Amino acid sequence: MRNRPENHLFYGDNLAVLRKEITDESVDLIYLDPPFNSNANYGILFKEPDGKSSSAQIEAFEDTWHWNETAEDAFDQVARSGNTKAFDLLNAMRGFLGDNDMMAYLAMMAVRLLELHRVLKPTGSLYLHCDPTASHYLMLLLDAIFGKRHFQNEIVWSYRRWPSVSHRFQRMHDCLLFYTKSESGNLFNTLTVPPSASSLKRWMGSMQKVTFTADGMRNPTRESGTSLGVAMSDVWEIPIIAPVSKERLGYPTQKPVALLERIIAASSNEGDVVLDPFCGCGTAVHAAEKLKRQWIGIDVTHLAISLIEKRMKDAFPAVTFTVEGTPKDLASAYNLALRDKYQFQWWAVSMVDALPFGGRKKGADGGIDGLIYFNDHDPASGKMVTHRAIVSVKGGLNPDTAMVETLAATIAREKAPIGILIMNAKPTREMERRAAAVGIYRAGVDETFPKLQILTLADLFQGKRPRIPNVDHAAFRRAAREANAFQPSLL
């Protein structure tokens, strides 16, 4: 393991994390793929162990913004930031757009871009990933905050996808707005591509020795025989992740690792710090680890942080990193339950390695917060079949026998062999008695398991887990294991 500071994942609002945790001029490269204000809801798709799509789709985030107190506060923070150019521009945009959803999105972005500019080193670079929905407005904000002379490229990421019926040309690209902290002196590694056939013919005719390398070709020298090459353009043709690709993890808006490898290779060196403040399913931190960079990822949903934890451990078994902001004790767990019951439920479900189920819509989960798949013989057929254990999470401090009765009814309704009740409070003796009365599940020849099991958060922090036979982890989409070595093919 290389000698370097620990990597970090932060669960929380990136504005608060940036201000509290990231020091001035400490980051070499920032990549951000913020929500595009597309007015769409994005869900994480999990799969059944047989590979079919699961009904357990979780709404990861709502890509919709509204002008409200939060937006007004963000606007006011930009006004008080001391950056008059940024505020003058934002104020002019408000006069043009009014207090609408787009303006709310731009205010949210402006206050965060100010913090990202602060943490970037003088030699650092920022790549903002966006689509046509708001790219023109974001470019103006970046001009105001970074300075228009620090704009380097509008990179076009071109790709193919299944076309849709439309009364306009098909949209087959995203934009990457590339800015630097300084006008010159920023770190940049020129990436190259093989020359065209006509160029290669001319070079060969000049009797220069030509050799190809995995990462393209470099500047020519007659004496050493170094590879020839053409500097990479600002149009990148990189395929999107196919639905059947092993790279796909089920997370909405997931970007290919190849795209992030190219950005990181161009604008950082080994050991540099890469920051992604909207890290989603963690493609940027994955690519950073693969290319031997330090990394920091921030996301506001526990679903994302939990997914990245699994992804990094699957892809890089020896990786080390810390996770900040998730509950580490009973007090912080209860605090999360009070602040956001859905994030609390998703965190608790992840603690028992269950798939999250349901979403933010009232009544959508039917009393089910998570699922654990396991295999056992079917007494009727004698064949091995897959069963579902149901997980229910209760974050309150007041134990109630109704919690047990509700889960027992859900077990019966869903014909589930086992149910797990995760509680913040310690169960009463009557709750334990009623749970025991639900019965025993018999697995195999002589194994027995309580049909309704109660676990407290204290149990989870002490390492106790549900008793379930033959757990099937096939429902989790696992990242392919990486060799943890620099992969030079960036074409």
Q: Are residues 200 and 184 in the same domain?
A: no
Size of the chain in residues: 491
- Measured in degrees and rounded to the nearest 5, phi and psi for residue 489 equal -80, 105
**What pTM did the predictor assign?**
0.83
Among candidate residues 207, 231, 255, the one where a domain is terminated: 231
d(CA 359, CA 204): 62
Are 100 and 209 members of one domain? no
Res 228: pLDDT = 63
End-to-end CA distance of the chain: 28
pLDDT tens-place string over residues 359-415:
655 455 578 999 999 988 877 777 888 899 999 999 988 999 999 999 999 999 999
- Same domain, yes or no, for 303 and 219? no
223 and 276 inside one domain: no
Domain shared by 378 and 453, yes or no: yes
Q: How far is CA 265 from CA 9, 106, 187, 258, 268, in A?
A: 21, 29, 11, 10, 6
- pLDDT, position 57: 42
81-105 tens-digit pLDDT: 999 999 999 999 999 999 998 999 9
Based on the fold, state whether residues 369 and 423 are members of the same structural domain.
yes
Q: Determine the structural domain holding residue 185 and report its residue range.
A: 7-191+235-324
Under a CB-based contact definition with an 8 Å cutoff, are residues 275 and 295 in contact? yes
Q: Which CB contacts under 8 angstroms, 24+ apart, belong to 192-199?
A: 192/216, 192/217, 192/218, 192/229, 192/230, 192/231, 192/232, 193/217, 193/229, 193/230, 193/232, 193/233, 193/491, 194/229, 194/230, 194/491, 195/228, 195/229, 195/230, 196/230, 199/230
Q: Which residues of the chain have pLDDT under 70?
A: 1-5, 37-64, 203-228, 358-365, 473-476, 484-491
The CATH number for 434's domain is 3.40.1350.10
Closest by CA position to 491, among listed 227, 287, 215: 215
Write phi, then psi, for 385 (nearest 5 degrees): -130, 165
- Same domain for 59 and 174, yes or no, is yes
Lookup: tokens for 184: 């010159």
Q: Are residues 368 and 248 in the same domain?
A: no
Answer yes or no: is 484 within a domain.
no
pLDDT digits (tens, 9 = 90+) for 233-286: 999 999 998 877 888 887 777 899 999 999 999 999 999 999 999 998 899 999
Reported as a single tens digit per residue, the pLDDT across 190-200 is 999 888 777 77
Q: How confident is the model at residue 302, as a pLDDT?
A: 87
Q: Any residues with CB less than 8 A from the CB of 146 and at least 6 apart, and which? A: 117, 126, 179, 180, 181
C-alpha to C-alpha distance for 371 and 17, rounded to whole angstroms: 31
Q: What pLDDT is stored for residue 169 in this prediction?
A: 87
Q: What's the pLDDT score for residue 220?
A: 40
Read off φ and ψ for residue 63, nearest 5 degrees.
-85, 60
Q: How high is the pLDDT of residue 217?
A: 38
Here the CATH number for the domain that contains residue 18 is 3.40.50.150
